Each structure stands twice: as structure tokens, then as C-alpha cells.
Amino acid sequence: MSHDRATRILALRHGETDWNVQGRVQGQIDIGLNDEGRAQAELLASALAEEPITAIYSSDLSRARATAEALGRATGVALQLDAGLRERHFGAFQARTVEEVERDHPELARRWRSREVDFAPDGGETLTEFFERCVTTATLIASRHPGQTVALVAHGGVLDCLYRAANGMALEAPRSWHLGNASINRLLFTDQGLTIIGWGDSAHLSANTWRDEVQDNRA
């Protein structure tokens, strides 16, 4: 695949939720955006409104879908839902805070923290299963759009998998990169796989701080 036939990917995390703030494991539980998350989604959409986006794919969980819908309104591009972009299924850990998991299941929490690739919480996915799902889904989508730009609106864990795939990093390696809500991450897909162009761009969200200051001054 020549460079001009490469697929440009905008990998986007959903806006903030109350469970993000609380440190509660969301997994595949369908939690919506909070007020801050909805504002972040609009800022993200505005930042990408002039990008030549051909297609928008989103996880079908509402926090990602609502973020993608804002982008669809800004660009006029139809939204396509794909359950392959869902967050990792955390099984029995879902709906619990990290502190609760560590208190009630210290050994399972240790295995989770150490990123054991074949460990799954009861009823959930292993890291290996999750990684294969995410990379396969992103690769299939990208291969449909050679020479075009596509947006993938998903979750922190999904973006982590794409980052690791692009850098050839082991699943058990500690994470040192940012996965912020409503951040912009840019990748290129060719026959050789994924390559990172830019990561963790959140400059567009600074407008939210400015807006809050203006509103405070009007109060």
C-alpha cells in the first residue's frame, strides 16, 4: 500500500463520565457522559470539524456514541456503531471502584495491576482477548478506507491497545502514555500495520477552562 493509499485514523476517547471521576470501573456497563463530558465532546467536534473525515465509527456504548454524535453533527458524516470498539469487559470488577476491588480481592487486584495477559476477572476478558479484538476491529475498519480519514470513537483501553500495537509494545509493559478524555490521537494504517503520527492532543479542551472563567465572571 503506497503512502497516499494509507488510512489516516483519528482515535478518540469519549468525554468524561461521573464514573471516570469516581474511579469506578465502567467496562461494558453503559454509562453516559456527565456535563463536563458533553462539553468536551462539543469541543472535540469543533476541533475536528474541518478534518476530511470520510467515516465515523463508534463503540455502541452511550458515552462513546454521544461523543461520536457530536462529531457527526460538526462534520455531516454519518455514524456507524461497532461493538468491536467497546471497552474491555471487566466482569465482576465492573461498577466497583479500584479501591473496592483491592480491598475485597487483593490477589485478583494484584494480577490485574501487574497486567497478566491471560488473567480475566470472573465473566470478563483477558488482556490478550481484548487486544486481539481491538486491533482486529481497527484493522478491518481501516482497510475499508484506503487513502481516507476515519474517526474511531472508543475508550481508554481500546486506545491503549492501538498504541501498543503501533509501537510493538508488550501487553504486560507498564503504561506511560496519556489516555485523556476527548483527546485526539492520530495513526496511519498501511500494509505494514499501524504507525503513530501524534498522541494525546488535548489543546482543544483548554477552551473549556476559558469558557468556565467567562461564565464565572458573569455570575
Cα torsion at 194, 197, 200, 205 (round to 10°)? Answer: -130
| Greatest Cα pair distance in the chain | 56
Domain ranges of the chain: 3-218
Cα torsion at 20, 132, 150, 17 (round to 10°)? Answer: -10
Mean pLDDT in consecutive groups of 10 residues from the start of the chain, 219 residues: 81 98 97 98 98 98 98 98 98 96 96 96 97 98 98 98 98 95 98 97 78 40
Q: CA torsion sign, 116 to 121 to 125 to 130?
A: negative
Nearest in space to 65 (alpha carbons), one of 35, 89, 86: 86
Question: pTM of this prediction?
Answer: 0.91
State residue 3's pLDDT score.
61
Span 3-218: which CATH code? 3.40.50.1240
State residue 219's pLDDT score.
38
**Beta-carbon contacts of residue 121 (< 8 Å; ≥ 6 apart):** 90, 91, 92, 93, 108, 112
State residue 4's pLDDT score.
73
Q: Give the active site residues.
A: 14, 87
